Amino acid sequence: MTHSGRVAIVTGAARGLGRAIAQRLARDGAAVSAWDLNEEGVRETARLITAAGGQAIALTCNSAKADEIARGIAETHTKLGSVGILVNNAALSPFMKFQDITEQVLDDLFAVNFKGPFLCCQAVLPDMLEAGWGRIVNISSSSAQTGSARQTHYAATKAAVIGFTKSLAMELAETGITVNNVPPGFVNTEGLQESPVDVEGFAPRTPMKRAGRPENIAAAVAFLASDDADYITGHTLSVNGGRYLN
Ligand SMILES: NC(=O)c1ccc[n+]([C@@H]2O[C@H](COP(=O)([O-])OP(=O)(O)OC[C@H]3O[C@@H](n4cnc5c(N)ncnc54)[C@H](O)[C@@H]3O)[C@@H](O)[C@H]2O)c1
């Protein structure tokens, strides 16, 4: 299988895209370290993977905090081994009017959506450098490509993720480590259903006339995390049913 022998960390893996990505990487042979703040959800993700014959551990971990990231890496090393694949998926996706966004709200969102992926990349780098092989996939958003009203702060965090991805890809280009990002369009997850987005109304306005499925994002991540993608770095692989063409 494509990811046999690899250890993959997936953040925000308790539900939605993170769960689908964790399941797909495990199905392809990776041993998955599934991280989330939601203990029950992330345990369920690991249970689903092991029930399907895969290998996974669940860690209740805040991927925006350096000390918790260090603990997560240490536990992953002990239980699964050296990390080869990192998928930075955890994020908050709030909607707020621009003038209502306080400094605290802005700081808190950047901490989860941008600082977290940044620190997780730093934390896995020693393993990847030692192996001379690594795959980092950051989940960004089509909101950073198109703009999104009432998401000025969210779209800015995701634009930061894209700029960071390109820059880190260039810095690591000679090391065997690739760094890419996947901006999903509208994908039907609990997160999207909890948002003010009119999922039913959105579908007819999309060229493919449907919202995305979590498996669509997981397939793109699995490709970028594979050996087949070894000459692709700094790339933005849009998965959005034609909503935004780059
Ligand atoms: N669903 C979409 O249409 C869509 C569109 C564009 C981008 N995205 C991006 O895709 C990713 C997943 O989206 P989703 O719809 O599955 O979201 P979701 O809200 O359903 O799931 C996000 C998960 O991240 C976890 N999480 C949040 N903060 C965390 C933290 N500090 N530490 C650990 N875990 C944390 C949550 O507990 C949750 O389980 C996000 O990065 C989101 O911004 C989604």
Q: What are the sequence ranges of the domains in the chain? A: 7-229
209: left (phi over 0), alpha (psi -120 to 50) or beta: left
Please indicate whether residue 145, judged by its CB atom, sits closer than 6 Å to ligand 1: no
Please indicate whether residue 192, judged by its CB atom, sits closer than 6 Å to ligand 1: yes
pLDDT average, residue stretch 63-79: 98
User: What is the token pair recorded at 112?
Assistant: 């989860």
Helix axes 16-27, 214-224, angle to 10 degrees: 50
- Answer whether residue 34 shows pLDDT above 90: yes
Please indicate whether residue 45, judged by its CB atom, sits closer than 6 Å to ligand 1: no
Q: What is the pLDDT of residues 88-126, one digit of tens each?
A: 999 999 999 999 999 999 999 999 999 999 999 999 999
Percent of the chain with pLDDT over 70: 100
Q: Which residues of 23-51 are buried (b: 16+ CB within 10 A; e: fewer)?
A: bbbbbbebbbbbbbbbeebbbbbbebbee
- What is the Cα–Cα distance from 189 to 12, expressed in whole angstroms? 13
User: What is the token pair recorded at 205?
Assistant: 């306005």
* Catalytic residue list contains 231: no
Q: What is the pLDDT of residue 12?
A: 98
Sign (positive or negative) of CA dihedral 71, 59, 85, 68: negative
Residue with tokens 């450098």: 129
Question: Please, what's the largest Cα pairwise distance for the chain?
Answer: 50
Q: How confident is the model at residue 205 (pLDDT cuts 50, 70, 90)?
A: confident
7-229 under CATH 3.40.50.720, yes or no: yes
Q: With contact defined as beta carbons under 8 Å apart, do 74 and 35 qualify?
A: no
- Answer whether residue 129 shows pLDDT above 80: yes
How far is C-alpha 179 from the geometric centre of its chain's CA atoms?
12
| Alpha carbon nearest to ligand 1 atom 44, residue | 184
Give the number of other Cβ atoms within 10 Å of residue 82's Cβ. Answer: 16
Q: With contact defined as beta carbons under 8 Å apart, do 33 and 7 qualify?
A: yes
Residues paired with residue 236 on neighbouring β-strands, in sequence order: 181
| Alpha carbon nearest to ligand 1 atom 40, residue | 91
Q: With contact defined as beta carbons under 8 Å apart, do 213 and 192 qualify?
A: no
Please indicate whether residue 139, judged by its CB atom, sits closer than 6 Å to ligand 1: yes
Q: How far does residue 31's CA lie from ligand 1's centre (Å)?
A: 21
- Answer whether residue 204 shows pLDDT above 90: no
User: Which residue from 223, 123, 136 is spatially nearest to 178, judged by alpha carbons?
Assistant: 136
User: What is the token pair recorded at 157?
Assistant: 């965090």
Q: What is the pLDDT of residue 135?
A: 98
- What is the Cα–Cα distance from 168 to 64, expressed in whole angstroms? 18
Q: How far does residue 183's CA lie from ligand 1's centre (Å)?
A: 12
- Answer whether residue 1 shows pLDDT above 80: no
Mutate to test the pocket of ligand 1, among 23, 186, 189, 238 (most ligand atoms within 8 A of CB): 189
Please indicate whether residue 151, judged by its CB atom, sits closer than 6 Å to ligand 1: no
Which ligand 1 atom is nearest residue 192's CA? 1
Which ligand 1 atom is nearest residue 17's CA? 16
Whether the model pTM is above 0.95? yes
pLDDT average, residue stretch 177-194: 95
- DSSP one-letter string for 165-213: HHHHHHHTTTTTEEEEEE-B-SB--HHHHHSS--HHHHGGGSTTSS-B-
Q: What is the pLDDT of residues 14-28, one digit of tens each?
A: 999 999 999 999 999
What is the three-class DSSP state of 64? coil
Exposed / middle / buried, residue 55 (Cβ in 10 Å: 0-12, 13-18, 19+): middle
Annotated active-site residue in 27, 88, 93, 154: 154
Q: How confident is the model at residue 200 (pLDDT cuts 50, 70, 90)?
A: confident
